[in-house]
Structures are given as C-alpha cells and as structure tokens.
Amino acid sequence: MADFVNNLRLTEIATGDESGSWGTITNTNLTLIGEALGFATQAITENADAFASTVPNGSTDSERAMAIKYTGALDSTCTVTLGPNTNSRLHYIQNATTDSGSSGPYSIIISQGSGAKVTIPNGDTKAVLLNGLGSGAVVTDLFASLSVVDLKVQDDLTVTDDVAIGGALTVSGLTTAGAKLDLNGTELILDADADTSITADTDDQIDIRIAGADDFTFTANTFTALSGSGVVIPDGALTLGSTALTSTATELNQLDGKVAKTAGKESIWVPAGAMYPNTTAGCSALTQVELSNGPELKVLDFAADADDFAQFTVAFPKSWKEDTDITFQPFWTVTAGSNTGTVAWELSAVAVSSDGTSNVAFGTAVSTTALAMASDRNDLMVSVESGDVEIAGSPAANDLVFFQINNDVGGSGQTGVARLLGIKIFFTTNAANDA
C-alpha cells in the first residue's frame, strides 16, 4: 500500500501495489522532486502573527520548494511554522515582506516544533535546517558557525555581531568600487587585551585610545594630544616649507630664516618725552639736557622734598592679555653728585573703554625696590623690575590705559633730584601677533 513517510511527502509504492497507476504516480513523484529542488513564493496572510506552511502528501505545492521567498504585509513579527514536524530538510528562506503601515519592516521567525527557532530580519536570506524530531523539532541557522576556506565578497558585506580573526588578516588589491566599510561609531579594538582602540562615535572626530587612556583626537584639520600625552617627531621628519628641522633650539625657533614669534611676555618703552607733569603736584616740565659728549637727554625732574607726579597713556596691542597684571622698570639719572640717598618709583594705572568716562581713579600704586642714587651726575640708573601692577577699570580690548608715575619719597631716602629718562613696561600677550 502506498505511504507518505519521506521528507518530500512523495508516494512510496508498496510492492505489487498501484497496478496500472504506477507510471502516473512515478511521474508525479518526479515532478514533486523537481519542485522540491526549485524556488517558490509564498504570501503570508496580511498582518498575521503566525503562519503555517505544511508540505502536502503527494501533491504539488510551494511549501515543498527548497528556496522560498515569503511576501505579504506585516504589522508585527510573524512566526512561520514549517510542517510536518517530522520532516528533516534544508531550506533557503528570504524575508521579502513589507510593512503594512505601522513601525516595520518586521522579521519572520522560522519554527518547526517547540525547539530552537531562527529569526530572519526583513530583507535578509538564511539557510535553515529542520531536524524533523516531532513536537520538539529544532530549526538551526546553517551559517551561524560558518567555516570558509576562501571567501569572496563582490558587493557589500554587513556584519551585525562580533568578528574574531584567529590569525593574520591580509588584504591586498582591495577595490571597493564605491562600497564602504561603515563602523558607525563602533570601537575598533587593536590589541589582545582590548585596551587600545580607534573610535569615531563623535561626528567628525576620531578618538585614539592606547593602554586604556584617551590619548589623541583627530578633527577636521586638527590633531590634538590630550593631557598627559605627547607627540615625538624624529629629527629630520618635520618639514616647514622645504626645510627639514631637527630638535636643535635654533631650528625649532626658525622659519624661513626668521625667528618665530610666540605669545608670552612682551615689553614696551615709554620715554620721558611721552609723559606730562600732573597739574597738581606735578614734576618739572620736560627738559632737554645737553651733555659735553654724545647724547642729549630728555628728562623729567622729580624733587626730593615731596612726591612728584607725571602721567602718560598707552594703547596696548590687540595681542595683550587684558586680564593679566603688568610690571615696570624705571631708567633714570641724577642732577648732582655726592648723593647718599635712594630712589623708589611708583606706578599706578586705570583702563578706559570706548564711550566710557575718563574721570576715574587710578588703581593701587606699586613701588620698585629703592636704588641708591649715583654719586656722579648723569650716571645711568636702572631699577629692578617691579612687582605686579593691577590696572583698574577691568581692562578690555581696545581700551586706552592711563598711567601715573611718581617718586616715592616716603618709601626711600631721596636726597637729591631724580631725573626720569623713561620706563619699560612688561605685559603678557595671548597671540603671536595682532592679526
């Protein structure tokens, strides 16, 4: 008697049975074998959460095909059960379903019994094995642990899980032809203990981590060594223009034959000729002193009997770091010899902004260390650099700074007239130039 016990559900003719029908049945079986080795499309019922696909006995049907393309519109993940659960076979299954208008597209789940199942994301194709062990039948992803000696990929390669390479990975003559390797912010681990990596999880930025520490970043035109990291360039490997530089001080400070200017401490010279006596308690008016040899001096005389005052203004360069204090160093001489006293100079300042009033008080005056007066007339005296002088008025860019200088008679033992030649003002910049 004929029976349907094989995986393809073909008619198995018992000995002596189907007299007169044997040829017809055999032809049908051959047709079904061809069907089982072919391709078919099955439409899942619209919005179905579960769909049964069972191979019929001895009759043609798309469920028998080795390669099946599932179509239909879904509003959720759908479980497709392949029956009967006693059949063991191989299927290539494509999820070509569409979204019915919800939040898809959706996966399909291939099931045979209560055992393991295989999920096929929308648009993907998988090879699945059905073990046919009845109610507890298991579905296995054939390529879940795929071992390939030589793999050739001619189009996009998408990896959604870990990739482990047990030996050397050699890529030669790689041509993408427009294809891309998209890591989408995923960390690329570079060493055995996973503490050295490259990441691009911030837009337009590459982060380099070495030995567990974030060391370097690349952004659109900038390479940054983070705190605690450094950059070492071998001698001769750094080229400025056409000149290769080594680590000698001369070369590091030179560009095309010129010393490279950097931000930092700068000075400006203010001669006595740029100063004017105060209206009240002012020093003597500017005097030009003719010497018997060489230079003539333009000086302001500060008497020994009281503090005398003079003023001047400075418009600092744009590179000035306005929130820092200044210092000063007076240059001066005396009118007569045989002096036994000392001279100390004081400086105070206030900044005035555009459209601001100039009727403002000077800041606290800061004095230089008292210096002994020269014993000979017209000997040059250079006081030591002062302490920090705070400029009142909250200095800002484009301010005009008013200065007041005086001899500090009470803080020194001045015995004769001190002649001021000028002062050097030291200030801090935060740029190499005023561009």
pLDDT at 329: 98
Task: Name every residue whose Cβ is closer than 8 Å to that of residue 202 and which is 6 or more positions away in sequence.
Answer: none
Q: Comparing 12-21, 133-142, 358-367, which segment has the lowest mean pLDDT?
A: 12-21
How much is the CA Rg of the chain, to the nearest whole Å? 46
pLDDT at 245: 65
How far is it, in rounded angstroms, from Cα 73 to Cα 100?
5
CA angle 39, 41, 47 (to 5 degrees): 150
Q: What is the pLDDT of residues 343-393, one digit of tens each?
A: 999 999 999 999 999 999 999 999 999 999 988 888 999 999 999 999 999
> Residue 146 pLDDT > 90, yes or no?
no
Token duo for residue 49: 């959460």
Q: Where are the domains of the chain?
A: 22-141, 188-225, 266-428
Are 427 and 320 a contacting pair, CB within 8 Å?
yes
pLDDT at 179: 56
pLDDT at 303: 94
> Residue 156 pLDDT > 80, yes or no?
no
Are 254 and 241 a contacting pair, CB within 8 Å?
no
Residue with the larger pLDDT of the pair 73 and 178: 73
> Residue 254 pLDDT > 90, yes or no?
no
> Order of strands, edge to edge, in the sheet holding 197-202?
188-189, 197-202, 205-210, 213-219, 222-225
> Residue 232 pLDDT > 90, yes or no?
no
> Residue 165 pLDDT > 80, yes or no?
no
Mean pLDDT along residues 247-271 = 73
> Residue 171 pLDDT > 70, yes or no?
no
> Residue 58 pLDDT > 90, yes or no?
no
pLDDT at 391: 97
Q: Specify the length of the chain in residues.
A: 435
Q: What is the pLDDT of residues 65-113, one digit of tens each?
A: 889 999 999 999 999 999 899 989 899 999 999 999 878 899 999 999 9
Domain 266-428 has CATH 3.30.70.2190: no
Q: Comparing 13-22, 69-78, 198-207, 406-415, which segment has the lowest mean pLDDT?
A: 13-22
How far is it, in rounded angstroms, from Cα 169 to Cα 147?
15
Mean pLDDT along residues 313-324 = 95
Mean pLDDT along residues 257-269 = 81
pLDDT at 380: 94
CA dihedral 224, 228, 234, 237 (to 10 degrees): 10
Q: What is the pLDDT of residues 114-123, one digit of tens each?
A: 999 999 999 9
How much is the pTM?
0.46
Q: Comparing 72-81, 177-186, 298-307, 355-364, which segment has the lowest mean pLDDT?
A: 177-186
Mean pLDDT (the chain, rounded): 86
